[in-house]
Copies of this chain bind each other. A is one copy, B any other.
Amino acid sequence: MNDTTPTLPRVTDWRALDADARAALLRRPTARLAAAVDTAVRRTLAQVRADGDGALRALTRRYDHVELDAIEVSADEFARARTEVPPDLVRALEEAAARIEAWHRAGMAGEFEIETAPGVRCGRLLRGIRRVGLYVPAGSAPLPSTALMLGVPARLAGCREIVACSPPRADGRVDPVVLTACAIAGIQRVFRIGGAQAIAAMAYGTGSVPACDKLFGPGNAYVTAAKQMVAQETGGPAIDMPAGPSEVLVIADAQANPAFVAADLLSQAEHGPDSQTIAISDDRALLERVARELETQLATLPRADIAAQALDASLLLHVGALDDAFAISNDYAPEHLILQLREPEAWLDRVAAAGSVFCGDAAPEALGDYCSGTNHVLPTAGTARALSGVSVASFQTAISVQHVSPAGLAAIGPCALRIAAAEGLAAHARAISIRLDAENAR
């Protein structure tokens, strides 16, 4: 279908494909390990639910090869971690946190109240979710940026308890940079637990870890499966979103810099072998140059083997017009959409579904990953058609509230009575009429 070389993509002519071939090309891969992951995760969840901290210690011994002493990171360890992080990195984390805070604060919802009829005031209250649990991965590399992206909006939302889990290193400690990012973000407690057992701990609670109302954060297939399972259970926590492999779609015109396009594709490809990378252009020559740049740049990447695997499924699509590129992008609904176009703003109206958009040659996706201010926890696998990235609202609930005076009841009660009658709900009607009658009898 997709005529790629073993490692590097060639240009595909979109116009030469029929509808089925097009759909096949853009179809996301489904997780292949599903059944094995499912079984292992169910066992882990049951074990933590039954044995609490004991299970956490046993599972950490098995999967992380670490003998846990205290499960919770102490105040002393936080302080020690800070001293171990180079000052310029601390400053970078603080600088990133400040911009993340500025953008998230600007997007916060407000409470409101309006009079919908005389004597009927209806409003909305906002509440920070009381207990939120954040997962900060640290597999092939620790991800302090994720601590910032989850902790800062949780703090702005007014969550009362903000806890996090992150897997221990071989020496049993949580990565000092992660801990420092947690402290900067406002995360109050950190537990040295990773994988599905971390999700189980924050969902059910253990002696050490509090049960949380909502769980957040990216993770591997086990973490993702665990989040989805606990969210399905009666009384289980809510979750931010299902997390799939990371994705980027670049729309580039003839004037785009092929080295920049290739660099953006590679920055996505290095995340993992299942990362999705697509470039679309109305200029075939540009795409050919991107293909050559990919080869050149790949050669000098430390994570070249991972990136090469991801590039194997990468697409370079040549379309007849940029309109077609936006139609493809909207159907695909990428996590990240980069517009390397001369006038990207003029095209924004065409964007119907995407997690985050990067406008212009000077806007690599990596800026959004770290420090432009927007959130990097974004919908993948096409869920951007209906879901949004993490924001302060993700950490809040909106509670509607109505204040009704006797005059208000007189004003809108008859409307409610009429609809209740049509729905055959007599007790609904009586809850209104018994009050109207009492008021009339005064």
CA distance A214 to B271 in the complex (A): 29
Residue A16 CB within 8 A of the other chain = no
**Chain A residues engaging chain B, CB cutoff 8 angstroms:** 28, 30-31, 88-89, 92-93, 95-96, 99, 102-103, 106-107, 109, 112, 114, 116-117, 120, 122, 124-125, 127, 129-130, 140-145, 177, 213-214, 228, 232, 234-235, 237-238, 257, 259-260, 263-264, 266-267, 269-271, 297, 301-303, 307, 330, 344-345, 348, 351-375, 378, 381-389, 391, 393, 396-406, 408-409, 412-416, 418-420, 422-432, 434-435, 438-439
Please give the distance in Å from A240's CB to the nearest CB on chain B: 10
Judge whether B93 and A122 touch: CB under 8 Å.
Answer: no
**7 CB-based A-B contacts, threshold 8 Å:** A103-B114, A213-B386, A238-B385, A345-B403, A360-B404, A362-B435, A372-B402
Given A107-B112, A267-B431, A423-B143, does the pair A356, B418 have CB atoms closer than 8 Å?
no
Given A418-B92, A430-B267, A431-B264, does the pair A382, B235 have CB atoms closer than 8 Å?
yes
B93, B102, B401, B430: the one within 8 Å of A357 (CB): B401
Judge whether B235 and A266 touch: CB under 8 Å.
Answer: no
Q: Which of A93, A112, A177, A423 has the most CB of B within 10 A?
A: A423
B384, B404, B419: the one within 8 Å of A397 (CB): B384
Please give the distance in Å from A286's CB to the nearest CB on chain B: 16
B88, B92, B214, B367: the one within 8 Å of A402 (CB): B367
Judge whether A403 and B232 touch: CB under 8 Å.
Answer: no
Closest B residue, CB atoms, query A372: B402
CA distance A250 to B356 in the complex (A): 43
Judge whether A435 and B361 touch: CB under 8 Å.
Answer: yes
CA distance A418 to B391 in the complex (A): 24
Judge whether A413 and B367 touch: CB under 8 Å.
Answer: yes
Judge whether A355 and B400 touch: CB under 8 Å.
Answer: yes
CA distance A393 to B110 in the complex (A): 13
Please give the distance in Å from A421's CB to the nearest CB on chain B: 8
Please indicate the chain B residues that have their CB under 8 angstroms from the CB of A352 in the complex.
127, 130
Closest B residue, CB atoms, query A232: B228
Judge whether B270 and A428 touch: CB under 8 Å.
Answer: yes
Please indicate the chain B residues that have their CB under 8 angstroms from the CB of A297 in the complex.
427, 430
CA distance A91 to B383 in the complex (A): 39
